[in-house]
Amino acid sequence: MSDRRAAPRPVTAAPRCALKPAARSAPALRDFYEDPAVPVASGAERSRRQARMLARALGPAGVGRPATVLDIGCGDGTAAAVALPYLRGHRVIGVDWSQDALRRAAPRLPAVVRGELTDGGLPFAARSADAVLFSEVIEHVVDPDAALDELRRVLRPGGHLLLSTPNLAAWYNRGLLLAGVQPVFSEVSLRGVHGRPGSQVVGHLRLYTARALRGFLAASGFEVTAMAGAPFHGVPRPLRGLDRVACRLPSLASILLVHARRV
Q: If DSSP codes are grouped into helix, strand and coil, which group holds residue 11?
A: coil
Give the Cα-Cα-Cα angle 144, 67, 140 (nearest 5 degrees).
20
- Read off φ and ψ for residue 38, nearest 5 degrees: -75, 125
Q: In this predicted structure, what is the pLDDT of residue 102?
A: 94
Q: Whole-angstrom Cα distance, residue 75 to residue 258? A: 19
Return the DSSP state at 197. Answer: S
Q: Whole-angstrom Cα distance, residue 26 to residue 36? A: 18
For residue 15, give the nearest of 102, 90, 89 by alpha carbon. Answer: 102
Q: Whole-angstrom Cα distance, residue 263 to residue 260? A: 9
Q: Whole-angstrom Cα distance, residue 153 to residue 161? A: 12
pTM reported for the whole predicted model: 0.86
**Along the 263 residues of the chain, how does pLDDT read in single tens digits?**
333 333 444 333 333 334 544 444 455 666 776 676 666 566 788 999 999 999 999 998 876 678 999 999 999 999 999 999 999 999 999 999 888 889 999 999 999 999 988 778 899 999 999 999 999 999 999 999 999 999 999 999 999 999 999 999 999 999 999 999 999 999 999 999 999 999 989 899 999 999 999 999 999 999 999 999 999 999 999 999 999 999 999 999 999 999 999 99
Q: Where are the beta strands (DSSP E) in the chain?
A: 68-72, 91-96, 112-114, 129-135, 155-166, 222-230, 255-262
The answer to whether 28 and 38 are in contact (CB under 8 A) is no
